[in-house]
Amino acid sequence: MLNDKFTILGKEIKRGERAFLELEVAKLHTRNSIRVPVIVERAKKDGPTLLLMGGVHGDEVNGIAIVRNIIRKKYNKPKRGMIICIPVFNVFGFLNLRREFPDGRDLNRMFPGYLNGSLASQFAYRFTKEIAPKVDYVIDFHSGGADRSNFPQIRCVTKEEESLQLARIFNAPFILNSEYISKSVRDTIRNLGKTILLFEGGKSNDLDEEVISCGVEGAVNVMKYLGLQDGDLELKQSPVVIPKAQWLRAPNSGMFQLRVTNGSWVVKKQILGEITDPYGDYEKKVFAPFDCYVFCVNTAPMVHKGDALFHVSLETQIDEFNNDLISPDYLVE
């Protein structure tokens, strides 16, 4: 929760103030500085601090568009507390629409970083020291990589009660149990005692309006639940909780055609896709090995043997809301 004095990136933000800050880490070989815009909105009333961040991977533009739309529609202006927006975290990658940093490293495997480490590590270090300790909650927006398209989903550790409750409130179609990965943003935020949700939707280098709308609506639901915004929650569905999942992989190399709709329920032996050679010698069908939900599909026209084709549920449960649990009053004066 905020107190009277709040300082971030060397700037004091008073109640009712807005600030456009910049996180500067390094310079290019042309001597141009790379700065990451950080947009801070503080309400006149106290409350929690929520960080919304996109573009940890520079080619995952859906997340960038989600945070951008939240700012454009002024949802980031809280009634209480503070909302911090970082639309493009990995500016280096975004400039080239690439996942990695210029040093070839995945930024989301470099946290908490080192002051004198690699470029990506220094970047992670500045975030960990100067921004992460200032927030209470984080929503990190991502998309699928390597031609894999994720149906809108929230990833969290479902045995953590607060994380699961926020995932329910976000109200994406799927909630996927996902353990913390060492050196990731999620792991670092957790180690600081904060709560973080990871949203996945769509694929890299592609803007999907349905995914973007889901991300914006989910973030606004979380704001309302935390008391940052007023209004009723818009809970359009009962999310499917997936405690365990599995990848189905390509049995052969060849041209790949999808035969199933992402996000759908399929039954055992249903055809999910076909792999063919370019010479007409064979057609290999990929069947569902059991009844399951498909919540990620490979959209590549060509695949190799062993490539991940479908992310499917091993266990599922339909989340039923308890209305007594979805009131934001516990954080409102």
Q: Given pLDDT bands bounded at 50, 70 and 90, which one contains residue 29? A: confident
Max Cα separation, the chain? 72
The pLDDT assigned to 325 comes to: 47
Q: Which residues, 6+ apart, have CB-to-CB distance to 206 below 8 Å?
A: 61, 62, 143, 149
Give the integer Cα–Cα distance in Å for 35 and 265.
44
Domain 244-318 of CATH type 3.40.50.700: no
Give the integer Cα–Cα distance in Å for 208 and 193.
33
Q: Given pLDDT bands bounded at 50, 70 and 90, which one contains residue 333? A: very low
Q: Kindly tell me if the per-residue pLDDT of 328 is higher than 60.
A: no
Q: Kindly tell me if the per-residue pLDDT of 329 is higher than 90.
A: no
**DSSP-based three-state secondary structure for 112:** coil
Question: Which structure tokens are listed for 206?
Answer: 């592609």
The position carrying tokens 């062993």 is 306
Q: Kindly tell me if the per-residue pLDDT of 268 is higher than 60.
A: yes
Question: Which structure tokens are listed for 188?
Answer: 């670092």
The pLDDT assigned to 1 comes to: 55
Say if 7-237 and 244-318 have the same CATH topology: no
Mean pLDDT of 22-43: 86
Q: Kindly tell me if the per-residue pLDDT of 7 is higher than 80.
A: yes
User: What DSSP assignment string belongs to 74-86?
Assistant: TTTS-SEEEEEEE
Give the integer Cα–Cα distance in Å for 214 and 101.
28
Q: Which residues, 6+ apart, have CB-to-CB distance to 135 below 8 Å?
A: 49, 50, 51, 84, 194
Is the CB of residue 23 less than 8 Å from the CB of residue 9?
yes
Q: Given pLDDT bands bounded at 50, 70 and 90, which one contains residue 269? A: very high
Is the CB of residue 130 less than 8 Å from the CB of residue 9?
yes
Note the pLDDT tens digit of each residue in 139-182: 999 999 989 999 999 999 999 999 999 999 999 999 999 999 99
Note the pLDDT tens digit of each residue in 241-260: 999 999 999 999 999 999 99
Note the pLDDT tens digit of each residue in 189-215: 999 999 999 999 999 999 999 999 999
The pLDDT assigned to 321 comes to: 57
Identify how many contiguous H helices and E strands the chain contains and give both numbers: 6, 18
Residue type at position 258: L
Give the integer Cα–Cα distance in Å for 266 and 259.
11
Backbone angles phi, psi at 326, to 5 degrees: -115, 35
Give the integer Cα–Cα distance in Å for 79 and 183.
34
DSSP summary character for residue 214: H
Domain 7-237 of CATH type 3.40.630.10: yes
User: What DSSP assignment string belongs to 122-134?
Assistant: HHHHHHHHHTGGG
Mean pLDDT over each residue of the chain, to the nearest integer? 93
Mean pLDDT of 291-303: 97
Is the CB of residue 18 less than 8 Å from the CB of residue 76?
no
Q: Given pLDDT bands bounded at 50, 70 and 90, which one contains residue 320? A: low
The pLDDT assigned to 2 comes to: 54
The position carrying tokens 């020291």 is 129
Give the integer Cα–Cα distance in Å for 281 and 31.
56
Note the pLDDT tens digit of each residue in 86-130: 999 999 899 889 999 888 899 999 999 999 888 899 989 999 999
Helix axes 61-72, 209-225, angle to 10 degrees: 50
CA 223 to chain centre: 16
Q: Kindly tell me if the per-residue pLDDT of 299 is higher than 90.
A: yes
Q: What percent of the chain has pLDDT over 90?
A: 84
Mean pLDDT of 13-31: 88
Q: What percent of the chain has pLDDT over 70?
A: 95
Domain range list for the chain: 7-237, 244-318
